[in-house]
């Protein structure tokens, strides 16, 4: 039935104190199928989300994360109308006519629509955002509910099929492989299949007047989508991606996704690049012919291993994403003939020593989880570890890490526990100094 009074939901413990309103209990999603239509001129999104899940406990009521900006017109659960449903406070609350037992199959269909807008957060606006002539989705960390109903937490990974219909002059890009493109009556429907498990914040939709290119000479298929006017700059600024990919495959292990890697460059400027699974999104300002954004290009590519394949189970461990991607910047710098990783480590170590030393790397707090000190201190932690165990064991550890937790989630203890297998002596003092203290320790770079 349509919305009536709010469906009652029992008080549940918080999944992650960094985002206490995100995530839901009682079920586990295995697949999202989104069938969407978007009208660029009037910013109107409409469609149906079909969510396949299994109950983890006896379930009479449950919820999904969904922005209040999008209205829900119909809900069905296992082909039947629920007892009632309602939307409020960023949740779609659903009450069933009778309880489902633990381990029951759950197919939820939600028909919804409206004028999507970003979700305001302590980190700024995140999620679905209009461009001058198109759309981008920047989902990290809690922007996914701005465009589809979901269980929005990084530990909740699933496969996806994203089908989006929009005006034919525009190209629509989403995660995974483009498996279908159908043109009809001035509209094009694009269908993408993302088979590898993906966290909700990494799901994305990019719409713009983009030319699409397959790049050559890479061990992993590389693609680009960008305005035609930027092609010459792109060939220079992004021209060394193939070499980056070759280096990262060597150091980090096989590229974790089956459908290659795509860079999208918007016609608008963006303050920072954005990551998504199998994609990175840059602004026109990152493609100006100067090649000054190359460290960012390396950073976003490295996230395909560290963040997108191996994903944090809780946001307090964000250094496992950003510290590793930052260290990848330093590794590429050395490979490309610029400053060595050691020189960069010493440079940023001095900066950290002169900055406020009140950040705990393994629990920076929600307001500081994207602070640059998390990035740099995380990278320095890895450099200190490399110095302690030597290059051979360090890179063997990274490859073990990306293999063991491929398409999965992890916490800091998982990494320190694995690292113990590669050390001849205890790493306790190193971890205590870099991970569990706020003072910036001396940088030891040799065994």
pLDDT of residue 350: 97
Q: Where are the alpha helices (DSSP H) in 228-293?
A: 231-237, 241-252
Farthest-apart Cα atoms in the chain, separation? 68
SS3 content of the chain, % helix, strand, coil (to 5): 30, 35, 40
CB 293 within 8 A of CB 311: no
Pairing of strands 279-282, 261-265: parallel
Go through the domains of the chain in sequence order and give each one's CATH number. 27-208 (2.60.40.1730), 211-304 (3.30.2010.30), 312-434 (1.10.390.10)
pTM score of the predicted model:
0.95
Distance CA 106, CA 64 (A): 13
pLDDT of residue 2: 38
Number of Cβ within a 10 Å radius of residue 10: 8
Q: Where are the alpha helices (DSSP H) in 231-362?
A: 231-237, 241-252, 294-302, 319-335, 341-353
Q: Provide the 3-class DSSP secondary structure of residue 275.
A: strand
Low-confidence ranges of the chain (pLDDT < 50): 1-10
Exposed, middle or buried: residue 42 (CB in 10 Å: 0-12, 13-18, 19+)?
exposed
pLDDT of residue 8: 44
Evaluate the omega torsion of the peptide bond into residue 192 and state whether it is cis, within 30 degrees of 0.
no
Crossing angle of helices 241-252 and 294-302, in 10° steps, is 40
């Amino acid at each position: 039935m349509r919305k009536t009074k709010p469906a009652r939901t029992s008080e549940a413990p918080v999944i992650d104190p960094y985002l206490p309103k995100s995530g839901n209990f009682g079920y586990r999603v295995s697949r999202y199928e989104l069938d969407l239509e978007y009208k660029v001129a009037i910013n109107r999104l409409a469609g149906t989300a079909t969510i396949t899940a299994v109950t983890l406990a006896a379930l009479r009521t449950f919820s999904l994360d969904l922005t209040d900006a999008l209205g829900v017109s119909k809900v069905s659960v296992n082909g039947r109308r629920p007892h009632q449903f309602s939307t409020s406070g960023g949740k779609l609350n659903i009450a069933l006519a009778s309880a489902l037992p633990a381990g029951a199959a759950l197919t939820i269909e939600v028909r919804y629509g409206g004028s999507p807008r970003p979700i305001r957060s302590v980190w700024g606006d995140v999620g679905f955002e209009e461009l001058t002539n198109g759309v981008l989705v920047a989902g990290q960390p809690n922007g996914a509910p701005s465009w589809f109903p979901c269980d929005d937490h990084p530990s909740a990974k699933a496969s996806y099929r994203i089908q989006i219909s929009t005006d034919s002059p525009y190209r629509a890009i989403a995660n995974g492989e483009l498996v279908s493109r159908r043109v009809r009556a001035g509209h094009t429907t694009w269908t993408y299949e993302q088979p590898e498990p993906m966290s909700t914040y990494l799901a994305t939709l990019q719409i713009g007047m983009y030319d699409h290119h397959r790049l050559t000479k890479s061990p992993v298929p590389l693609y680009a989508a960008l305005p035609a006017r930027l092609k010459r700059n792109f060939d220079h600024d992004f021209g060394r991606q193939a070499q980056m990919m070759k280096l990262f495959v060597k150091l980090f292990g096989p590229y974790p996704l089956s459908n290659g890697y795509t860079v999208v460059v918007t016609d608008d400027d963006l303050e920072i690049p954005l990551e998504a699974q199998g994609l990175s999104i840059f602004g026109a300002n990152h493609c100006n012919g100067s090649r000054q954004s190359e460290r960012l290009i390396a950073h976003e590519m490295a996230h395909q291993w560290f963040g997108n394949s191996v994903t944090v189970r809780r946001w307090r461990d964000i250094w496992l994403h950003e510290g590793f991607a930052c260290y990848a910047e330093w590794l590429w710098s050395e490979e490309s003939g610029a400053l060595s990783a050691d020189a960069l480590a010493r440079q940023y170590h001095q900066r950290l020593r002169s900055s406020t030393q009140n950040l705990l790397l393994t629990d920076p707090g929600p307001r500081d989880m994207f602070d640059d000190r998390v990035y740099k201190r995380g990278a320095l932690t890895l450099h200190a570890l490399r110095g302690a165990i030597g290059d051979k064991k360090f890179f063997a550890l990274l490859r073990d890490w990306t293999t063991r937790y491929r398409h999965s989630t992890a916490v800091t203890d998982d990494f320190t526990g694995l690292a113990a297998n590669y050390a001849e002596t205890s790493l306790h003092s190193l971890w205590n100094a870099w991970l569990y203290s706020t003072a910036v320790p001396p940088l030891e770079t040799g065994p």
